[in-house]
Structure formats: C-alpha cells, structure tokens
Structure 1
Amino acid sequence: MSAAVRRFSPFFIGLAASHFLVTPLFAGATVDLAAEAARPAVNDQVRATVYSEVQGKYPAEIARQVNREIEDALKLIRSRPEVSVKSGNQSTYPIYGDKQKIETWRMRSELILESRDLAAVSRLLGELQQGKLALAQVVQMPSAETRRKAEDAATRDAIAAFQSRAEVIAGALGKSWKIKQLNVSQQGGHMPMPIMRASKMMLAAEAAPAPLEAGESQLTTQVSGQIELSD
C-alpha cells in the first residue's frame, strides 16, 4: 500500500545524494533508498575535566600531594550544588632517564564536572585553576532531554523524506510500494573546546572565569532501507 507523502518540516536538510538502486522490475522488485535530516539542539549542558598532576622521586609523596589537592577541590565543588562531580582517570607511571633507569614518578588524578548552569561552571573552573588543579577539557553538548527532542524531530523529517522518495520512484514506475527494511542512525551533539597545556604556575596566574557560550549542535538522523515494488 502506498504511504501518503508527509509535509516537510522547515528544518529538513535534504536527501542523501541520489542513493537508490532498483533490482529487475518483476513482482517483488526492491529499491534501496537513503535519506537524512538534521535539527539544531542547544548545548545546554557542559562537562569539564580538571586534574592534579605531580612529579617526584617518591611515589608515596606525590600520591599524598595529589590526594590532598583532589580533596581540597572536592570540598569546593561540593559547596556548589548546581554542579555534579565524579572521579575520572587516575594513573601513576615512571619517568625513565639514562640507561632506562627510573628517575622520577608522575601521578595524575582527574575530576569530571557536569552542569546545566554554564555560568556556575565557568566561575568554578576559574577558582579551581587559581588553586592547584589544571583544566584538561571542556565539552558542551545538548542535555539528554534537549537531545531527545531534536533527534525525534530529525527522525520524523528523515522518514518523511524516505517516504517521499519512495513515492516518487514507485509513481514513476507505475507501481505501489511498501517498506521491506528500515535502518535509523543518529550522529552529532558534542563540541569539545581545545585547552592549551600550560604549567600550573601559568594557569594559576592567568586563570579567570571564561564565559561559556551555549551555541548549538547539529543532530543528524540517517534513514536507509529497502522498499518492495508491486503491481
């Protein structure tokens, strides 16, 4: 049974370029199709990674220093209820010198901050860098709710485009059609902000609450599959 052509959303981006293949035209012939659509989604959530990293001769000493810096940072972060925190990667490894002998050790411990309050995260990052921690990465993205709404809208647009292309092909061949197979996938939604590496002294001297602009991410839904033609 032929499906009705849906009206396109104003946010519809377009079809994948001429992607269709028709098998020999007899009863049960199939056509491969692909279509895609995109919707913007506000980056209303931010995730930042901060870390303490210390190098020294004795592993126990650097571990105590790193743990102390992390504990101090956690006290500050937990005083901001609008920002959540969890532990990130932790590592300790040797630094080799001449003749492959261990000269010193380096330890690194990360904390991951998340919030929908971009201004609060910006201020907190400035304070943490004024202390002992350094900033590794900031990623802005749509929150789960915002992302779901944009993906749902893009999926409806992409399916409508798929149906429209199927209607055009079947109509040109004087056939009716039905969907035999359909695949749906989504892409996009993360915007990492590059962070220049610097010494702790430089970070402490220059750190200040940098404004974080929300911006938008483009979320794309791709639909591919097969339709079956019949008389």
Structure 2
Amino acid sequence: MNPNKLIAAALLSICALGAMAQGVPPPQNVLQLSASGTVEVQQDLLSLTLTTSREGPDAATVQNQLKAALEAALTEARKAALPGQLDLRTGNFSLYPRYTRDQKISGWSGSAELVLEGRDFPRITATAGRIQTMTMGGVGFGLSREQRARVEGEAQAMAIERFKAKATELARGFGFSGYTLREVAVNSNDQGYPRPRMMAMEMKAAQADAPVPVEAGKSSVVVTVSGSVQLR
C-alpha cells in the first residue's frame, strides 16, 4: 500500500477512536474512598554504626591507619557474626584534604564506618563494646523482614475489612443496595518511634568492653486500601 494511504488510514482510525471516546458517557454512581489498618509492633532490628577518624600529613598514612582500624574491628566482629542475628557491612570510607587559608593542602583527614545489624540485640551491643579501634557513631531501630511481613498481613486484612464496611455503609446511605469493586490500590508504610539510649558521654565513662546500652521502641505499620466502587 502507498505510504500516504497508510498514514491517512492511521489518521482516520485515530479520529474514529477519539469520536468514540467522546461519545462514551462518564461513569455514574461511582464512589471514591479509602480505609487504613494500623498495627503497632515492637521493633526487632537493631542497626549500630561504629566509626573512626584519622588525620595525617599525607593521604597514604591516613588511609593505612583507617584500614588498620577497620580491619581490626572486622576481625573482632566476625567472631560473633551470625546470619540474621548479627550481620556486618562496611559503611562510608572517606578521605579528603585539609586546606590552609591560601588554599594549599596542609594535611589529610578521613573516616571509616562499620555497621552491625541484626535481631540479637545483646550479641550486637556486646560485640560493639569489645571493639577498641572504633567508637559509636549512631544507632537505629526498625523491623526485620519477617516481622514486617507478618504485621503487614494483619494491617492489610484490617484495612480491607474497613474498606468493605465503609463501602457498604455509604452505598446504603445513598439509597443503594450494594456495590461492586471498580479499582483498588494497596499501600503500606511503617512509622518508627525509637527510644535510643546511646550517649557519647556515658560511653566514655563506662568500662571499655561493656555492652552498649540501647532500648528499642515501637513501629506502627500502616496499610491503606483506596479505590472506587460502583454503587448499585
């Protein structure tokens, strides 16, 4: 077929589809609504960050000092590592120059991080207390994958039941006998309320190899069901 005829045919098809779309009446008696389910649960995942910093006249010296401190910390931490209970990962490793007022390099600074994470709080805090080459940089709490999946299931079931109950109530309120589901979306998130008890001054005063004091809080897992229903 001639290319011009193909183009013309395509344009006619597009115009026809547009005309059909314009002729379709908008949906009637459609109701938009949403409902949420919330479950509060104890946080069971601890993430503890250890850090160290060094300064020196040249980059190689600072880098080697950081590597030595990190390797010593890893050697100690690996003794207690256990999948899911205490997992290790290195964090930020940075090296940068220090400048004088006339923008000349006067030396080098750097820092390194090691993260201890897992569900076994005593194992993690005791391990952190035994590491001598790094100090506490931060602590955070959250939900493990298993805990989140279990709680999300509960919150989702709650949100669905509330969505159905609200749809039924509104349908009857508007004089309809019921409804049919048109479309639906499910979203989930969790809001943490940690209560960390890790303070630098307390750490310095405590025994060098004492466990790091921490206390987890709770998270609220929220699942929202939203969508539209056709009243009938």
User: TM bucket by the smaller chain?
Assistant: 0.7 to 0.9
Q: Distance in 2 between matches of 1:103 and 1:194?
A: 38
Q: Which residue of 2 aligns with 1:163?
A: 164
Cα distance per residue 1:37-59 (max 9 Å; x no partner): 21122212211111221122211
Identity %: 28
Q: Which residue of 2 aligns with 1:8?
A: none
Q: Compared with structure 1, are the counterparts of its residues 56 and 203 closer, same or farther at alpha carbon in structure 2 (3 Å cutoff)?
A: farther
**Contact persistence 2:198–2:214 (CA under 8 A):** no
1:211 Cα deviation from its structure 2 partner: 3.2
Which structure carries more helix by proportion? 2
Q: 1:179 and 2:216 equivalent?
A: no
Q: Which residue of 1 aligns with 2:125?
A: 122
Aligned residues: 200
1:94 Cα deviation from its structure 2 partner: 1.7
Q: 1:143 and 2:141 equivalent?
A: no
> Structure 2 length normalisation: TM-score?
0.77
Q: Over aligned residue pairs, what C-alpha RMSD do you find?
A: 2.3
Cα distance per residue 1:42-90 (max 9 Å; x no partner): 2122111112211222110011110000111011001113322112122
1:162 Cα deviation from its structure 2 partner: 1.0
Q: Compared with structure 1, are the counterparts of its residues 73 and 56 closer, same or farther at alpha carbon in structure 2 (3 Å cutoff)?
A: same
Q: Distance in 2 between matches of 1:209 and 1:149?
A: 30
Q: Which residue of 2 aligns with 1:41?
A: 41
Structure ID, larger Rg: 2
3-state SS, counterpart of residue 156 of structure 2: helix
Q: Distance in 2 between matches of 1:154 and 1:180?
A: 22
1:154 Cα deviation from its structure 2 partner: 0.4
Task: Structure 1: state its 5+ residue gaps.
Answer: 1-25
Q: Distance in 2 between matches of 1:181 and 1:228?
A: 10
Where has structure 1 moved over 3 Å in runs of 4 or more? 189-198, 202-208
Q: Distance in 2 between matches of 1:227 and 1:172?
A: 14
**Contact persistence 2:183–2:229 (CA under 8 A):** yes
Task: Structure 2: state its 5+ residue gaps.
Answer: 1-25
Q: Which residue of 2 aligns with 1:5?
A: none
**Contact persistence 1:139–1:190 (CA under 8 A):** no
Q: 1:61 and 2:80 equivalent?
A: no
Q: Which residue of 2 aligns with 1:113?
A: 116
Q: Which residue of 2 aligns with 1:101?
A: 104
1:190 Cα deviation from its structure 2 partner: 4.3
Q: Which residue of 1 aligns with 2:219?
A: 217
**Contact persistence 1:41–1:147 (CA under 8 A):** no
Q: Compared with structure 1, are the counterparts of its residues 93 and 214 closer, same or farther at alpha carbon in structure 2 (3 Å cutoff)?
A: same
Q: Which residue of 2 aligns with 1:89?
A: 92
1:27 Cα deviation from its structure 2 partner: 6.8
Give the residue type in structure 2 aligned to 1:84: D
**Contact persistence 2:187–2:225 (CA under 8 A):** yes
Q: Compared with structure 1, are the counterparts of its residues 122 and 174 closer, same or farther at alpha carbon in structure 2 (3 Å cutoff)?
A: same
